[in-house]
Amino acid sequence: GDSVTQMEGPVTLSEEAFLTINCTYTATGYPSLFWYVQYPGEGLQLLLKATKADDKGSNKGFEATYRKETTSFHLEKGSVQVSDSAVYFCALSAISGNTPLVFGKGTRLSVIA
Binding site for other proteins (CB under 8 A): 32, 34, 36, 41-46, 49, 89, 93-94, 97-101, 103, 105-106
In terms of CB distance, is 42 or 69 closer to other proteins? 42
d(CA 21, CA 95): 24
Instruction: Answer yes or no: are the C-beta atoms of 5 and 23 closer than 8 Å.
Output: yes
Q: Rounded to the nearest whole angstrom, what is the least distance from the CB of residue 89 to other proteins in the complex? A: 7
**For other proteins, the closer CB: 18 or 39:** 39
- The nearest distance, CB 69 to other proteins, in angstroms, is 24
Beta carbon nearer to other proteins, 83 or 99: 99
